[in-house]
Amino acid sequence: MKLKVPLAITIILVLLQVTDYYLKVPVINTVAANFTVAILVMSAIAVGIGIISLTRIHVRRIVKKRPHSLESAIMLITLAIFILVGAVLGSGDPSYIYMFQNIIVPLDSAMFSLAGFFMASAAYRAFRVRSREAMILLVAAVIVMLGQAPIGEAFWSGFPILSQWILDVPNTGGVRALIMGIAIGMLSLTIRMLMGHEKGYLGTGA
C-alpha cells in the first residue's frame, strides 16, 4: 500500500501530462492545466517550508549554544527584517528593493565571482599536456579564450572566427549528443519509476 498509492498517483499524473502535451482534447487539457496550477501552489508552499526549516535549524543552534550561533542569530534577524518589510510594504516597495540591491546582490555576486578565481586555479592545474588529446584540448581552450576577449582580436583577427567555429561545430555537436543522451536517460528513469523499479524517492518502506 505504501508503494502502490504513490505509484498510482505518479502513473496517473505522468500519463495526464504526457497526453496533454501530445493531444488536443479539451477535457484532458483543462484537467492537466489545473494540475499544473496545483504545482505552482505547491512550489510557493515549498518556499515556506524552506523558511521553516532554516528557522528550526538555526534556532536550535542558538538554543543549544553550538559554534557559530552568532552567525545564526544574524541570519534570523536578517530573515525577519526581509519578511516584515516584504509583508508590510510589499516586495515592490523601494525600501525592499534597496535592501535587496545592497545586501543580496553584492553577497550573491561575490560568491559567484569566486567561480572565476577557482576556475583560473583549476585551469592552471588541469590543462597539462599529458597526452595528444590533452594538447588538442589545451589549444582549443586557448583559442576560445583569446577569441572571446577583445585582446585576441587585437593580436590576430582570426581568433574570434576560429573561436566561433570551435564553439559552433565540435562543441555544439558534442553538446547536442549529450542533450539527447540525457533526455534518453531521463526517459529510462521515468519508465523505471512508473514500473516501480526506482523507489529511492519514496523513502521508508518502499
Distance of closest approach, residue 3 Cβ to another protein, in angstroms: 14
- With left for phi above 0 and alpha for psi between -120 and 50, is residue 5 left, alpha or beta? alpha
Binding string, residues 147-176; x marks residues near another protein by CB under 8 A: -xxxxxxx-----x---x--xx--xx--xx
Site for another protein contains 1 (CB under 8 A): no
Q: Rule CB under 8 A: is residue 22 a binding residue for another protein?
A: yes
Instruction: Among 4, 47, 70, 131, indicate the residue that binds another protein (CB under 8 A).
Output: 47
Kindly state the smallest distance separating residue 43's Cβ from another protein, in Å: 4
In the bound complex, what is the minimum distance in angstroms from residue 65's beta carbon to another protein?
15
Buried b (16+ CB within 10 A) or exposed e, 39-78: eeeeeeeeeeeeeeeeeeebeebeeeeeeebeebeebbee
The two most distant CA atoms of the chain are separated, in Å, by: 69
**Choice from 8, 15, 105, 136 touching another protein (CB under 8 A):** 105
Check binding of 9 to another protein (CB under 8 A). no
87: contact with another protein by CB under 8 A? no
Q: Which residue has the cell 501552489?
A: 41
Please give, one letter per residue, the 3-state secondary structure of 129-187.
Answer: CCCHHHHHHHHHHHHHHHHHCHHHHHHCCHHHHHHHHHHHHHHHHHHHHHHHHHHHHHH
Report the residue from 1, 4, 5, 24 that binds another protein according to the rule CB under 8 A: 24
201 binds another protein per the rule CB under 8 A: yes
Contact pick of 1, 5, 109, 132 for another protein (by CB under 8 A): 109
Query: Does 77 help bind another protein (rule: CB under 8 A)?
Result: no
